[in-house]
A and B are shown apart, each in its own frame.
Chain A
Amino acid sequence: MVNYIIRRVLYMIVTVFFISIIAFILINLPPGSALDAQIQRLRQQGGDISMQQINDLKERYGLNDPVYVQYLKWIGGAIHGDFGQSFTYNAPVGELIWSRIAVSVILSLFALIFAWVVAIPVGVYSATHRYTVPDYIVTVIQFVGIAIPEFLLALLLLVFAATVLHMDAGGLNSQQFQNAPWSWAKLMDTIKHIWIPVIVIGAGSTAWLTRVMRANLLDVLNYQYVQTARAKGLKENVVIWKHAVRNALHPLIMSLGTALPTLISGEVIVSIVLNIPSDGPLFLASLQTKDMYLAITFVLLQSVLLVVGNLLADFLLAWADPRVRLE
């Protein structure tokens, strides 16, 4: 077991390392950088900027080095938590990013919990009441739920909130709290707002998980051990929840790994639409302004989240399924 964990963690580090290279190359691909934009701005403001000054700036940001040196410098710093300098914000990337990543993690986590808490009972109900009207309704909602992209759902919700409820569903806080320091009141205000993005981000996963849960349970219900449990004289509820659902969860846990990228993607785009101070809007802005180090750091940290999430999912599976534990 210890061996297995060490191997997995090592593998994880290698993966993240490769991803950092890919991300770095990608983001260095487009011609021009945020620095050019900044130079442009400086020119407009203060007239002339000499080649000397430009060179100084480039030197300061390390843009005169060959790409691989730039990368090595950056990754060397990143290991120590120094992700370089943002050109547009003129501040260390680390300072800009942590609070936003935290919001992202919280949103994704809540969305995941929401999806599971809703999907499991609904899927179980749907499977145990197959071919009844509620089952058909659930099936249709699932299809539509998967067909609506997250950003559209966010948009529809915004419009609905604005036209019918006359409220602003965007953001994570009311106006008066937006720039206020954290306090009890702000926390309550956040809780009041956070459920909207959580539901929107989790909706697609919920629909999908419900479908998987229903199919799995129908499968498991055909196993002999379910009849064994019934033959013991257990209540139908115990048979379903203790004996059948427990085993139907394994594929669900296994699918966590594939569900995470979707979840993170959904979180990014929903945050952009709902204007939530998470990684989404800033990542988009950094791509648009070609704020290199900022963009790379986002991709890198998202990958780290993914890889760690996958690792946790594997551990969870080993904990849940005794057959996996041995291998």
Chain B
Amino acid sequence: MAETIPSAQSTEIRPTGEDNVIEVLDLHVHFFTTLGVVRALNGVTFKIPRGRVLGVVGESGSGKSVTGFSIMQLVQHPGKIVKGQILLKARKDDQPINILKYDRHSQQMRNIRGNEVGMIFQEPMTSLNPSYTVGNQIQEAILLHQTPDKDEAWRRTVDILRRVGMPNPERIARSYPHELSGGMRQRAMIAMALSCTPSLLIADEPTTALDVTTEAQILDLMRELQKDIGMSIMFITHNMGVVAQMCDEVVVMYLGRIVERASVEEIFYDPKHPYTVALLRSIPRIGLSKGEKLEVIKGGVPDSYSTVTGCPFHPRCPNFMPGICDKVMPAETPIEGNPHHTVRCHLYPGSAAEAEVETSGLAPGTAPAAS
């Protein structure tokens, strides 16, 4: 399968020389479960330019979260990064380094986590340790990466809490997580992730568990802080509305592969891949006349252990072309006239260049730990 991909992508596997905070090249992650190998990521390649926000969109089990955890080298057992490179260029003038060279428990990797790359999670209710005060947990990161001075670290803790819009930050710092509301906790998580001014923030569905009003506040806050600090954000979500609000560029993932990448405008106004089109059609929107049914994507994500040949989306695809889609894996091809908008679909010329006939075996799929 994916590991045998020949030409088309191999040309991509080198740093581009642009100023990208992170470049993920041909990333493969497998989960070695007792029931078989689950291929969660099958050659994922993307980059995030400095100061930009990349949206990673897809259904549950498409491998969005695994991608995020891979950058931290925190993919949980039995998952393993089996192939690929992750190039980190923390400062503008740094040389990009392949962080997969470092052992996941190494000092170098720990220096990257929390310091160069921060991460916030989906569940604000459980992502803070109930046994320690919020301040204690933020201070811990600052003490680890920034200053050994406890008083200084505490001052910075209160500062960052103020910066994420906490009223009375001194009191909040001395509170335990269970004393705060969901939105407050997510603010605290953002404060923790930003406490060491990372160059990249990975936000794994940070607003999914929040109500709409709080969601809007948190998104505003993130956007504002992103501009202030000048960091990049990898924004993992399944919510297209949030993508429109937050992102500069978008990659759409389906079953461990990127099926389309484009700027946020192009994704919304000129979507190419049938899956992206279907995703957009299923958003409820004002102007939808009464009685008109909201479109749904027929079928479900195939489960992790079943077999899908050809394009993994073909069983659900409205544009399914027998003989091609169920036989040949489409290659990633740029749209004519726009090299920055690529799609992985046989509807567009050039896709069959990667004439790879699918063999049997386990299909790419979701991982137990994903999303």
Contacts and interface: CB of A to CB of B under 8 A. Distances in A.
A–B contact with Cβ pairs below 8 Å: the answer is yes
Interface of A: 223-225, 227-236, 243, 246-247, 320-323, 326
B105 A236 contact: yes
B129 A247 contact: yes
B62 to A, nearest CB: 20
Interface string B115-157: 1001101110011111100000100110011000000000000
B114 A231 contact: yes
Nearest to A322: B176
A236 B115 CA distance: 16
A327 B114 CA distance: 34
A228 B145 CA distance: 15
B287 to A, nearest CB: 38
Given A225-B129, A227-B74, A322-B130, A233 B121 contact: no
Given A236-B105, A247-B131, A322-B131, A231 B123 contact: no
Contacts of B121: 224, 227-228
A321 B131 contact: yes
Contact of B110 (A234, A322, A323, A326): A234
B113 A230 contact: yes
Contact of B178 (A228, A246, A323): A323
A240 to B, nearest CB: 12
B140 A232 contact: yes
B270 to A, nearest CB: 36
Interface of B: 72, 74, 76, 105, 110-115, 118-119, 121-123, 126-131, 137, 140-141, 144-145, 176, 178, 189, 192-193
A4 to B, nearest CB: 18
Contact of A232 (B105, B113, B176): B113
CB-based closest 9 A-B pairs: A233-B114, A233-B113, A232-B114, A224-B127, A224-B126, A231-B119, A225-B129, A233-B110, A322-B176
Given A233-B111, A322-B176, A323-B176, A228 B144 contact: no
B131 A231 contact: no
Contacts of A230: 72, 74, 113
Nearest to A228: B127
7 contacts: A225-B126, A225-B130, A230-B113, A233-B111, A235-B110, A322-B131, A323-B178
Contacts of B123: 224
Given A227-B74, A228-B121, A322-B176, A233 B129 contact: no
Residue among B118, B119, B130, B144 having the largest count of chain A Cβ atoms under 10 Å: B130
A225 B127 contact: yes
Given A224-B123, A236-B105, A322-B178, A231 B113 contact: yes
Nearest to B176: A322
B130 A228 contact: no
A231 B72 contact: yes
A229 B127 CA distance: 9
A4 B126 CA distance: 29
B106 to A, nearest CB: 11
Given A231-B193, A232-B144, A323-B176, 19 more contacts: A225-B130, A227-B74, A228-B121, A228-B129, A228-B192, A230-B72, A230-B113, A231-B72, A231-B114, A232-B140, A233-B113, A233-B141, A234-B110, A234-B114, A243-B129, A246-B129, A321-B130, A323-B130, A326-B178
Contacts of B189: 228
Contacts of B178: 322-323, 326
Nearest to A130: B77
A128 to B, nearest CB: 11
Given A233-B112, A234-B140, A234-B144, A228 B131 contact: no
Contact of B129 (A229, A231, A320, A326): A229
A231 B204 CA distance: 12
A232 B192 contact: yes
A276 B123 CA distance: 55
B116 to A, nearest CB: 9
Contacts of B74: 227, 230-231
B291 to A, nearest CB: 42
A326 B179 CA distance: 10
Nearest to B116: A233
Contacts of B192: 228, 232
B88 to A, nearest CB: 14
Residue among B105, B129, B130, B144 having the largest count of chain A Cβ atoms under 10 Å: B129
A50 B127 CA distance: 82
A224 B123 CA distance: 8
Contacts of B127: 224-225, 227-228
Contacts of B137: 228
A250 to B, nearest CB: 8
